[in-house]
Structure 1
Amino acid sequence: MSGSTKEPEQRWTVECAPGAFPFLGHGIALFRRPLAFLNSLPAHGDLVEVRLGPQRAWVACHPELAHRMLLDASTFDKGGTLYDRLRSLMGDGVVTCPHERHRRQRRLLQPAFRPSRVAGLADLMGEEAAAVSARWRAGQEVDVSAAMMTVTARVMSRVLFSDSLDAATHAEVRRCLADVVRGLFLRTIVPVDAVFRIPIPANLRYRRSVGRLHAIVDAAVTERRGGGAHRDDLLGTLLAAAASDEDGAVTDREVHDQLITLLLTGVETTALCLASAFDLLARHPEAERALHAELDTVLADGRRPGAEHLPRLGHTRAVVTETLRHSPPGWLFTRVTTRDTELAGRRLPRGTTVLFSPYLLHHDPESFPEPERFLPERWLPGRAAARREHALVPFAAGSRKCLGDGFAMTEAVLALAAVAARWRLTHRPGPAPRSRPAVTLGPRALRMTCVPRTQRRADAAHRTTLRVPDSRRAGGNGVDDA
């Protein structure tokens, strides 16, 4: 007899969400006030049934249930209306493909996102963010959302295509991506294709932008296949894999689909994270001051952030992590069961839709005390950020965890550092507009005023020298400790 005791099985609560309308279910609440509706669900159970029109689905409200689901990707496969729409747009790339094809696709792309490769791209990331913000002027009102889309679109375009796209094409890619994302959410919640065949301006703009993105990718592939010099980018990696694949599994269609997938998923989400970060920093002066203190130490003499600075940008990384907790760009996802299974003691037949929401999990006070507060210090060394395990899932988990999570974090940290080292962005007078979720979550038209930080740093240094001789040295030690 070993003397060991078996851990008791957790007792789960399984309920149906109240307030469903006849025929429409909870669809009205999810459309009108999606975040508030999601945040209300944990009070009703760990696994909560919701009605989406005539269909029913289950929402995993406890992080352990969401984690179990994400770790079993063969049973809880990507599916549902969202992924049906995404497949029609992206094809069968690494984000949308079924489980049985995912492992091979991930192995194909993984070398481009290894830590050593990401570190080699760090200078490029800081360079693009610094170049965009260098064009701003003191007192200028800038569209921060558009500016961050420019940064991330240029970074991703260069990672995928090197210098194959000229400046005009880069700008066109950004505009097309914005049109596609706006139109995609409506196509997800309105499953009636006939509505989107009506030749109204919004539908025409969406179709035109989708067509141009595919045409730009095709042109880049054709140019490279037509004798263009080999470049050490992702397109080069895919073409080399296709050329050496004797079984013919890596087809021209797959090369195209992977490029479209990474272009669509690698641009907007990071841009929204950055826009949300600047929005939240402007609302929380203490967090902003702590960020600026670190940047003034690590990036002294106006140095541009790069790979060598990353180990010392601990608070900057904490700001990005807290932004991903507070305002995760990917806020709601669906899975569909591939066989009869069980979750939280409830039998789920094959074909059952199960939802998990990073926003819901990140805003549950049982996991994160004071979840509505923006507190980057949660993530500093020595702090207990979450009361529950597996509560932070901005990039999902398991075998379908975001392939580019390390890339996205590095890009966001360096871009935030490059801009915030030079500028303080402030809200215009009056209430700031709140962002409404679409396929992704974040401000899409955030306009802020540029305040140069060079003069502020000089004033602060002068005050420190005259009045508080030790405060700047103490701040520097704190940054080093972080």
Structure 2
Amino acid sequence: MSASYATAPGRLPGLGHAVALMRGPLGFLTSLRTHGDLVRVDLGPMPSLFITSPSLIHTLLTDRKDLLDKGRFYDKVRPLTGNGVIHAYGDEHRRQQAMIKPSFHRDEITRYVEVMREVTEEKSRSWQAGGRIPVDRVMRDITFNILARTMFGSVVDRAAHEELAAILPTVLEAIMWRTVSPGDLLEKLPLPMNRRFDTAFTQLREAISRVMLAYRQNSVEPGEAGMLSMLLAARDPDTGRAMTDEELCNQIVSVTMAGSETAATAMAWLFYELARHPEIEERVREEVADVVGDRDFELADVGNLPYSRRVLQELMRVRQPILVISRRAVRDFPLGGGHVRAGTELFYSPYAVHRDPDLFPDPLRFDPDRWLDKPATQLPKGAYTPFGAGPRHCVGEQFAWAMMHVVLGTTIRRWRLTLPDGVKIKEMPWATVNPNHMPMTVTPAPRRTRVARE
């Protein structure tokens, strides 16, 4: 690593910046931009570079794609998740992405929207007016069930969907713990936590294997098997080869890992921000009433709800769930006037960049209309990356936008969620930036007569 890069303050011999990070990781990461475009941060004995400049982030994600792999933190969870599309790189990543991409075609998402609406309605139907619900856990339940049903369709019954959704939190907890745990020793010890994690992964893979067997034995129609049927039908664009059962299982784990925790966290923060800004909530409710009314949500509605879209854009800025993204140099290359050596771990923080006051004035203010004054297309490349960029841009982005629209619109036209007096919500930095808790009171949404359009 070049010695010309600035080093973040707070480095201690032998510990690096570990103490500074533990004391206040969010403040530490958001402060790095004041020390330069490239800042050295030592994670224990491991020297790393944090990139704070949008242009260099864009370079990292696009121009330097064949010089990088996913990095040490992804190596730590690969034995659990396999080498699915999230962990593969280079030609292997391109091959896998080409096979998975049809699963997220617009025609498929059109069918998924119905599942998104059904799950949200089923889960919210049990809420009691005046009652209190843990919104963070409720959004996890909704999101995980949506993923289970869109992935496996009617190959398994609703009880099996619930079982799969119940396994996912432990699986994701294991992934997050392995990602952020120091060294490799703790995860190898016979601790109750590690046994619980290993059991959850075994259960998940066994459940996926049972579903694939049921699909093959019962001659299920493709449309009834959800995303699974698309993955089973996928062929390598060069060889025509189908995925093996192990590869299929890895892809299902990868897609689930990528799409569940971040979406659930984002939706919990969404209802928190709406509770803090009732005037924004009411504008969303009025827009949904005007466009959708009392009928079922359709994919076409997503493009006809511009204010809701801006609300979600602002959510993914100020409440970006992803704390850090990692890469590792596989060979030497120049970057930002310096030189990165092979083996260097590189990081950037979407959370921190999205709160940069030079890019987003008054960055902590939740203001959906800021996107009218300065659309994302007018920002520097690399400044707003809620779903990544370049060849590793999230293949499920349109699925995620559709799910957020449907969960928001379905919930808001029936319910209003408010924060009880005296409740304080704190950001808890983990692999994602979660709320420490989120108890909210449920009341019926005010009914509004829809005005017919001319």
Q: TM-score, normalised by structure 1?
A: 0.87
Q: 2:264 aligns with which of 263, 267, 271?
A: 271
Contact 2:58 2:381 in 1 (8 A): no
Q: 2:129 aligns with which of 119, 138, 141?
A: 138
1:196 deviation in Å? 2.9
Distance 1:100 1:251, change over 3 A: same
> C-alpha offsets along residues 187-217 of structure 1, whole Å, 9 cap, x if unaligned?
2232444423444432232222111111111
1:422 is matched with 414
Secondary structure of the 2:86 match is coil
1:457 is matched with 447
1:337 is matched with 329
Q: Distance in 2 between matches of 1:245 and 1:368?
A: 44
1:317 is matched with 309
1:371 aligns with 2:359: no
Q: 1:400 aligns with which of 389, 392, 396?
A: 392
Q: Distance in 1 between matches of 2:213 and 2:366?
A: 47
Matches within 5 A, 1:242-321: 248=241, 250-300=243-293, 302-321=294-313
1:356 aligns with 2:348: yes
> C-alpha offsets along residues 418-455 of structure 1, whole Å, 9 cap, x if unaligned?
111111111122132313121122336422110111xx
> C-alpha offsets along residues 100-120 of structure 1, whole Å, 9 cap, x if unaligned?
201111110111112232233
> C-alpha offsets along residues 57-81 of structure 1, whole Å, 9 cap, x if unaligned?
1111011110010003534433223
CA RMSD of aligned residues (A): 2.5
Secondary structure of the 1:376 match is coil
Q: Distance in 2 between matches of 1:110 and 1:244?
A: 12
Gaps of 5+ in 1: 1-12, 462-471
The farther-off stretch of 140-149 and 245-254 is 245-254
2:433 is matched with 441
Q: 2:41 aligns with which of 50, 73, 78?
A: 50
1:241 aligns with 2:209: no
Q: 2:173 aligns with which of 179, 182, 186?
A: 182
1:299 deviation in Å? 3.3
1:270 deviation in Å? 1.2
The farther-off stretch of 340-349 and 283-292 is 283-292
> C-alpha offsets along residues 320-370 of structure 1, whole Å, 9 cap, x if unaligned?
111111111222111011211011111011111110111111010011111
The farther-off stretch of 338-347 and 200-209 is 200-209
> C-alpha offsets along residues 84-130 of structure 1, whole Å, 9 cap, x if unaligned?
12312210111111222011111101111122322332232222212
1:252 deviation in Å? 2.0
Secondary structure of the 1:57 match is strand
Contact 1:138 1:452 in 2 (8 A): yes
Matches within 5 A, 1:15-54: 15-54=6-45
Q: Distance in 2 between matches of 1:242 and 1:213?
A: 24
Distance 1:188 1:308, change over 3 A: closer
Q: Distance in 2 between matches of 1:225 and 1:120?
A: 22
Distance 1:280 1:243, change over 3 A: closer
Aligned residue pairs: how many?
A: 448
Q: TM-score, normalised by structure 2?
A: 0.92
Contact 1:331 1:441 in 2 (8 A): yes
1:8 is matched with none
> C-alpha offsets along residues 230-249 of structure 1, whole Å, 9 cap, x if unaligned?
42332222223369996656
Distance 1:244 1:108, change over 3 A: closer
Q: Distance in 1 between matches of 2:257 and 2:55?
A: 30
1:128 is matched with 119
1:114 is matched with 105
The percent of aligned pairs where both chains have the same amino acid is 34
Contact 1:295 1:421 in 2 (8 A): yes
Distance 1:194 1:352, change over 3 A: closer
Contact 2:113 2:298 in 1 (8 A): yes
Contact 1:81 1:191 in 2 (8 A): no
Contact 2:329 2:344 in 1 (8 A): yes
The structure having more radius of gyration, on CA atoms, is 1
* 2:402 alignment partner AA: T
Contact 1:368 1:387 in 2 (8 A): no
2:199 is matched with 208
* 1:90 alignment partner AA: T
Distance 1:310 1:242, change over 3 A: closer
Gaps of 5+ in 2: none
> C-alpha offsets along residues 32-70 of structure 1, whole Å, 9 cap, x if unaligned?
321111110011111111111112111110111100100
Contact 2:148 2:165 in 1 (8 A): no
